[in-house]
Each structure stands twice: as C-alpha cells, then as structure tokens.
Amino acid sequence: MKTRSAKAIARFVPSVNFTWRRAVRGYHWIDAEGVRRLVPIDAIQPDWNSSPERYVSEYRPLAERSGLFWEFAALDPTEDAIRQFADKFGLLGANPQFNLIPKQARLQPESFELWKREIEDLRQAVVAWRLVVSGERKALEKLKRKLARPDAPLAIQRHLHVNEKDPAMFFLGAIQRATDPRLQQEVLSRLVFAGSKPRLNVIMEPQSLLGTLWLQFAAAVDAGKSFAKCPRCGVPFEVSRDPSGKRRSARFCSDRCRVAHYRGRIDRARQLKREGAPLREIARELNTRIATLRNWLADEHPA
C-alpha cells in the first residue's frame, strides 16, 4: 500500500475571522483611582454607552498588518508610544486576567501597567523565537546558562527543558508557556457556513486585539515565517510565499513606500547638488551610480 509523502499532504491552516474597533478620534490617558488608564476621547459624550457606533470604526487588523505582533513587541513602553499604537489599532480588549470581555464592552479603559506587561511578554517571546531561528547554538547555550535554574527540582527542570541537549528546546518551551494561555483565553475555534454553500469551515476567531497579536505570532512560529523592516516607514512586513507575505527580494512594505523612498532619494540628490556637493560625493551618499544620478538631476525643472 502506497502512502502519500508529507509534501503531498495539504497543510491544514484554518482561516481567521476577526474585525476590531478603534475610536475615530483616538485615545488619551486619564488618572482613575490612582491608575493611569487609556480611554477613548469621545467616552465623555452623553450617548457613548447607548450609541458607541457613532464614535468607533471597524477594520481588519490582519489585513492591514502581516507583522502587527512584531510592531507591538517593538513598542517603547511609554504612554505616548502606546497611545499612538492605540490610535491606529484600538485597545487590547483584555483584562489582566485574560478573561473574555463582552463585545459591547471592548472599549473599556485599560491600564498602563496592562499594556506595559503585554508589550514586554510578547517582546521576550519574539526575541526568544528570533534567537532560535538564528540557529546560533553558542548564543543559545550562553543565554540558557544565564536564565536556567540548575538548582530547581528535577520535575521543574524537565518541565522547563533545562536538561535537553538542544538549547533551543528551553526557549521554545518558554515561548509555548507564554503563548498558550493567551490563545486559550482569547481565541475561539468555530465551524461556520462557507457563504451560502452547504459546507462548514473551521475558523479561528480571536476575541480581542491581544488575542490577534498572539495568534499572529503563533502562526509565524508554526510556519517559520521571517520578517523585514520597511526602510521607509519602519513597519515590519512578512517575507514568505503566503498570500499575506512578500517575495524575499522585497525591500518595502508597499508600493507607496517604495515610490516615496525613490522620490525621496531624488529630492535628496537635488538638494545636495544645489548645496554644491560634487557628483561623486552625492553618488556615494545615496549609494547609486553617477549615470543614474545625472538622469535624476537632468529631470529637475528650474524654478
């Protein structure tokens, strides 16, 4: 009896169904009972509780950012940076105990400590994952010796994979322990109808933005995805063959950034020329050929 090879078996990847809300006019920090909390600016409106749809808009986070979890993990844990992130993507939507929050309460205030802790936890998981992917065994072993507790009970050492020969196991275990509670509490699995067809599909349905971030991270770990940072806007983007990713030769997250970067280099070349810089110096700074540089400068129209 012939068996199909692993390559011949389609990999099961459930689709993700998720929309989220963000306040149209953004968020600000307030002091509430001695705690700094992030709240929608329009929460002071009289009809906020009865008609919140007037002040919020819906969007699909995963459609906007293939590397949103990376962007979140790289945040500076400051009030200003957190507020700017929330203005773009909304609140996390989870309380400190990771309990599910009813959909109508997803715009409730969130503490600075909650954001700070979630940023740090996801950052540590991403750093561990990048270290494992790098394959730098010596670096893994050195960091493992620093973090592991050889004096811990044997059962704890086994649980933490302290005695594994491959140091990557120790860090993958840490990633697993950080990720699983969020997935269990913040992501549901459901069977839904495939449009109007007599067919059911299994989907993953995050219950919060926080759940989406960890689910996106888990999917990246599972598929061994890699990410690059756009030199124009700084947004991380996925590099893979998946529909959500870009080819390995891609340098920018979008055509808009690619064109803006190109025009920016031309503008910089013209500025340096007006300042009297020689062509060789301009070409060296912009890392381009003199022939290309001459074309850029020739297209400039005098004022």
Q: pLDDT tens, 204-238?
A: 889 899 999 999 999 888 887 777 778 777 777 77
> Quick one: 224 and 266 in the same domain?
no
263 part of a folded domain? yes
Q: How far is Cα 225 from Cα 238, in angstroms, rounded to an integer?
A: 7
> Quick one: 175 and 262 in the same domain?
no
10 part of a folded domain? no
> Quick one: 154 and 274 in the same domain?
no
188 part of a folded domain? yes
What percentage of residues in the chain have a pLDDT greater than 70?
82
259 part of a folded domain? yes
Is the predicted pLDDT of residue 262 greater than 80, yes or no? no
**Do 299 and 262 contact (CB within 8 A), yes or no?**
no
Give which of 211, 223, 149, 224 is closest to 180, Cα–Cα. 211
On the CB side of 72, CA atoms within 13 Å amount to 31
Q: How far is Cα 86 from Cα 92, in angstroms, rounded to an integer?
A: 8
Instruction: Please give the pLDDT value at position 11.
Output: 57
303 part of a folded domain? no
> Quick one: 188 and 280 in the same domain?
no
Distance of CA 154 to the CA centre of its chain: 36
Helix axis angle for 79-89 and 112-134, nearest 10°, is 80
> Quick one: 188 and 151 in the same domain?
yes
Q: How far is Cα 233 from Cα 259, in angstroms, rounded to an integer?
A: 12
Q: How far is Cα 71 from Cα 237, in angstroms, rounded to an integer?
A: 9
Question: What are the pLDDT digits (tens) for 167-193?
Answer: 888 888 889 999 999 999 999 888 888
**Do 97 and 182 contact (CB within 8 A), yes or no?**
no
Residue type, 2: K
**Do 272 and 281 contact (CB within 8 A), yes or no?**
yes
164 part of a folded domain? yes
Instruction: Please give the pLDDT value at position 2.
Output: 47
Q: How far is Cα 108 from Cα 91, in angstroms, rounded to an integer?
A: 8
Say whether 31 sits in a helix, a strand or coil: strand
Q: How would you write 39-69 as a 3-class SS string?
A: EEHHHHCCCCCCCHHHCEEEECHHHHCCCHH
Domain boundary among 192, 212, 239: 239
57 part of a folded domain? yes
Is the predicted pLDDT of residue 85 greater than 90, yes or no? yes
For residue 246, what are its two tokens?
A: 């870009």
Mean pLDDT of all residues in 258-262: 80
In terms of average pLDDT, the best of 4-18, 153-167, 178-192 is: 178-192
Give which of 217, 41, 195 is closest to 124, Cα–Cα. 217
Is the predicted pLDDT of residue 9 greater than 50, yes or no? no
Number of Cβ within a 10 Å radius of residue 277: 15
Show the domain range for 183.
15-239
pTM for the whole thing? 0.76
What's the domain count of the chain?
2
Instruction: Please give the pLDDT value at position 101.
Output: 38
Q: How far is Cα 220 from Cα 179, in angstroms, rounded to an integer?
A: 12
SS3 percent helix, strand, coil of the chain, rounded to 5, is 50, 15, 35
